[in-house]
Amino acid sequence: MAGSCRFNHHFLTSLLITIAITTLVKSVHTTTTNTEFVKSSCNFTQYQRLCVASLSTQASLIQTSPKLMAHAALNITLASAKATSVMMVRLSRTSPLKPREASAMRDCVEELGDTLEELRKSIGEMGQLSGSNYELYMSDVQTWVSAALTDVTTCTDGFEGDDMNGKVKVLVRRRILVITQLTSNALALINHFASIHG
């Protein structure tokens, strides 16, 4: 009887260890697969390094879905644009700006506001993609993200010229450049998803 109990205990322990190892291996394999999917999807974008860096942290949510990949790219772009808009409003209030700089900053914040609205609409429509309305919604998403890209690019135009405050100009342009690249990547991922879905 005691031998039977020892055998059962040993068997149960071995079984639990086997299950734990199998689960761990599957988890590692799934994580690797998801991360590899993100990396391979980023090959469709112009700014691949930024794509991988910004979306790898979302790999477990994206899994291997091109739609979730495009959706995550839009959300990350929106978050970055929001943060930059807040930073610019704060900067325009706290930094001594010349009239031309203040005007460029106001214009840029307005362009960013349009970008935020277009990205929000795109995210909303991505959630509606289905069946008979797919092409209409996808067309809207592509149009809005293209418009967002145009707006954010226009933002930097006001900061051209040597008479702009060097520090403000460099800071704003650097932040806007990141949003431009994130938006470009999001559009590329949306277009890729549209091409394989359609």
Tell me the three-class secondary structure of 163-197, residue by residue: CCCHHHHHHHHHHHHHHHHHHHHHHHHHHHHHHHH
pTM equals 0.81
For residue 12, the model assigns a pLDDT of: 61
For the chain, give the percent of residues with pLDDT over 70.
81
Q: 144-181: per-residue pLDDT in tens?
A: 999 999 999 888 777 776 666 677 778 888 899 999 99
Phi, psi for 165 (deg, rounded to 5): -60, 120
CB 185 within 8 A of CB 47: yes
For residue 189, the model assigns a pLDDT of: 96
- Residue 197 above 80 pLDDT? no
- Residue 44 above 90 pLDDT? yes
**Dist. CA 76–CA 138, nearest whole Å:** 19
**Dist. CA 19–CA 39, nearest whole Å:** 30
Mean pLDDT of the chain: 83
Q: 76-133: per-residue pLDDT in tens?
A: 999 999 999 998 888 888 777 778 878 888 888 999 999 999 999 999 998 888 777 8
Average pLDDT over residues 14-37: 62
For residue 29, the model assigns a pLDDT of: 43
Q: Domain 10-197 belongs to what topology?
A: Butyryl-CoA Dehydrogenase, subunit A; domain 3 (1.20.140)
Residue 166: both structure tokens together: 């060097």
